[in-house]
Amino acid sequence: MILFPWQADLALSSCRSSPNSRSVSICLVTASSPAPGGTMRTWQDIFAVKIADMHLTEPWTLQEDDTLQVHVLKPGWKEFVQRRALGRFQCSQCSREWSSAKVHVLFHMCRQRLGQGTVRMRVFRQACRQCPNARLEEPTFSQETVERLLHNLVIKILKYFYHVPVQPSDLLEVVVDALVAGPHDSARCEGCQLGVCSKSQPAPASDVWQPVMDADKAKTHRTPKHKGTRLCATRTHHPSLFVNNFPWKRCCCIGSSLLCVLAVLLFVLLYFTMKW
């Protein structure tokens, strides 16, 4: 396990300022706002601080892209999906509010040859279950959640593009600090409709966070992370096809026959040699 500078202080109440970022002191931030100085700028400022904390000197930019699709990547791009984050929603029609612990955030990242990195992100929306023709609403996150999401993003950048050895424990859990009532409404979740949610493998209710399986490790099954357990890969034993399918009996019969023929030929050769 590597030691990162962030481990000295995990309880940040506000984002530290740097030469390329401004101070952030808001309580809730939303993921979608293209206006300069708006909430997307807050994500960019925190991302810049996280990059600086990891001592990366190359420039990295964070942009919003609502057209991103899971597992649809251009050559050279990597993917990271944070499937468990606590977000709060409010219906624009009936003003109903609800919380969800399964807000999904999709990141696509690429490092150019000149050393400049680009990250594109998409936050998936949810619709109100009470309104018949409800529109998809943008979530809001606490600042702590945003910091942890972007921290995990930077850890993935270090792993993919700078070959830094990363352990699962280096990723921060996105803490669920509010009561979430009822099951996840897949029919009104944009992520579920686009295939981000894994309906065939529902996570236990006690799981507040689950590390995302990378695209380059899709063939390795990993068990969910629980408190007091280690993330480990399970190996499947495959019996040797050579041992099971090799025709041993037939080869033994053929070998015995050849030995008999050689013995007869040797006897005949010795007989005529002694006679002459």
Examine residue 183 and state whether it is found in any structural domain, yes or no.
Answer: yes
Examine residue 235 and state whether it is found in any structural domain, yes or no.
Answer: no
Locus of tokens 């990242």: 109
Examine residue 275 and state whether it is found in any structural domain, yes or no.
Answer: no
Crossing angle between the packed helical segments 143-162 and 39-53, to the nearest 10 degrees: 50
**Alpha-carbon span 103 to 137, nearest angstrom:** 12
Q: Is the pLDDT of residue 65 over 60?
A: yes
Tell me the torsion sign for CA atoms 175, 79, 5, 62.
negative
pTM here is: 0.60
Is residue 121 within 8 Å of residue 107, measured between CB atoms?
yes
Examine residue 191 and state whether it is found in any structural domain, yes or no.
Answer: yes
Locus of tokens 């408190």: 227
Q: According to the model, what pLDDT value does residue 271 have? A: 84
Examine residue 267 and state whether it is found in any structural domain, yes or no.
Answer: no
Chain-wide mean pLDDT for the chain? 73
Q: Residue 59: which domain range?
A: 5-217
Q: Is the pLDDT of residue 34 over 50?
A: no
Examine residue 162 and state whether it is found in any structural domain, yes or no.
Answer: yes
Q: Summarize pLDDT for 90-126 with one digit per residue, the tens.
A: 999 999 999 998 899 999 999 988 889 999 999 999 9
Q: According to the model, what pLDDT value does residue 242 have? A: 41
> The sheet that has 117-123: what strands, in order across it?
60-64, 117-123, 105-111, 78-82
Is residue 102 within 8 Å of residue 123, measured between CB atoms?
no
The lowest-confidence range among 6-10, 17-21, 101-105, 171-175 is 17-21
Q: How far is it between the farthest Cα atoms of the chain?
A: 117
Is residue 60 within 8 Å of residue 117, measured between CB atoms?
yes
- Number of domains comprising the chain: 1
Mean pLDDT of 119-148: 93
Examine residue 143 and state whether it is found in any structural domain, yes or no.
Answer: yes
Helices within 115-247 (DSSP H only): 143-162, 190-193, 241-245
Examine residue 19 and state whether it is found in any structural domain, yes or no.
Answer: yes
Q: Summarize pLDDT for 144-201 with one digit per residue, the tens.
A: 999 999 999 999 999 999 999 999 899 998 766 666 766 788 889 998 888 887 643 4
Q: According to the model, what pLDDT value does residue 247 have? A: 65
Helices within the chain (DSSP H only): 39-53, 143-162, 190-193, 241-245, 248-275
Adjacent-strand bridge partners of 60: 117
